[in-house]
Amino acid sequence: MGKPPSCYADSEEVYYDPRPALLLSELEKPANHKALAGTKKGEKTTGERKVAIYQRIGQTLFPEYYALEPRTIADRIKTRTEWLVSTYNKHAKRLQVTGGGIDNPAEDEADQDIPDQFMDFYIGAAGPNDETPDHAKNLWANIESDFPFFPQLHAIIGSRPNHIPPAVTTGVGPNGRRTVHYQAPDDDDDSTNDTEPSGVFASTDGQYRTLLDAIAAERAQRDSASGGEPTDTPSRNQENEAPPSTPASRPVSKRTSISEEAIAKVKGSIRKVAAKPTIEETLFRIQKSSMAALRKKEDARARMEKRQLLLEEFKLGIYTRDEYCVKAAELDSEKDGISARAESHLLGMRRRPLIEKIFDHICLNATISATSERRFVLSSTTPKT
């Protein structure tokens, strides 16, 4: 069958490659183009996903490659199909010429005031026929020479609303509502017939027509006020105009009073949201927390130095064991912010066994050191024999 189609479909080789024709032959099958191009009015959908259709087409065209890489083949079929559709849409816009045409832009601008605009010509799914004008046939021939697959794609998706809508209606503007018919009126009369109201939006249609009549009357009044001769013709919306009504006092219903009470209750339960702090307040808070952390660090360092100094003084014999316990308790009480008198006894009781061991160790070392020095002195002063 050949190699699978490449994802790069923008080269000139695609126009002379038979593989797009094979792909179009698969797309022309009803089971495929209904899911890919959409259904017409009255047709039923197949319920299949596009991925499954791409896989089926790839398996049909390239069975050998599909057995090896099914996902790659499906992706390439999808890429080539999307390229064909996008290229068709680009060339199909050349056929959407309004009544003014390309050579008569003045008439095209004049047609902006017409509520319903139709194309200069319509070409059906079968292509040009005897009723098609000559310039449309020439345009079709130019498109076909640029894109040979255009007639086949036009037969498949040319009348599908998913690609070419039957009609597009704009909103209310300076020129009122405007409907552009992109497909032949015979095809879209059932779906976009606005001559008679359907009854579903009867109230909305009435309001819309009343609004248009009011705009026309206001425009006529402005023209007459600007210097135009007033006419005796009655206004179009005179029958729709309501007589001026005088305000009348209405009794307050029970439902209104209940609603007011509910609103008042809701308003009373609303709490004010705290104001967002400013940049100055945020910077002040950050600086305050930084200073507190720095001060805490300095206090801890000072207490550690005091504890080391106290221990050195105890080693030198400046303080006794009880005095050392009291001083150590005072340092700990300064850390927690408690009075030294209330905390010293408790800390002394907790740390007395440990302090006693430290004290005995220091005394033992001092005794050993003193004994060694004494022996050294005696040995140095004793005369040799």
What 3-state DSSP class applies to 98?
A: strand
pLDDT given for residue 357 in this prediction: 61
Q: Tell me: the pLDDT tens digits for 261-304?
A: 778 877 777 777 777 888 888 888 898 889 999 988 988 888 88
DSSP secondary structure of 103-164: S-HHHHHHGGG-SEEEBS---BTTB--TTS-HHHHHHHHHHHHH-TTHHHHHHHHTT-TTTS
pLDDT given for residue 165 in this prediction: 64
Q: pTM, whole model, 2 decimals?
A: 0.40
Q: Is the pLDDT of residue 138 over 70?
A: yes
Q: Is the pLDDT of residue 56 over 70?
A: yes
Dihedral (Cα; 87, 90, 95, 99), 10-degree rounding: 170
For residues 194-213, average pLDDT: 47
- The distance in angstroms from the start CA to the end CA of the chain is 124
Q: Is the pLDDT of residue 243 over 60?
A: no
Mean pLDDT of the chain: 68
Which of 40-49, 186-195, 204-213, 371-380 shows the lowest per-residue confidence on average (mean pLDDT)?
186-195
| Domain extents in the chain | 12-188, 296-380
Using alpha carbons only, give the angle 239, 240, 241 rounded to the nearest 5 degrees. 95
Beta bridge partners of 168: 180
Q: Tell me: the pLDDT tens digits for 88-118?
A: 888 888 877 665 444 444 455 555 556 666 7
Alpha helices in 45-118 (DSSP H): 50-61, 63-68, 70-92, 105-110
> Within a 13 Å sphere around the CA of 166, how many CA atoms are in the beta-carbon half?
12
pLDDT given for residue 188 in this prediction: 44
Q: How confident is the model at residue 127 (pLDDT cuts 50, 70, 90)?
A: confident
Distance CA 139, CA 154 (A): 14
Element (DSSP H or E) covering residue 30: helix 30-37
Q: How confident is the model at residue 199 (pLDDT cuts 50, 70, 90)?
A: very low
Q: At what angle do helices 50-61 and 30-37 cross, to 10 degrees?
A: 140
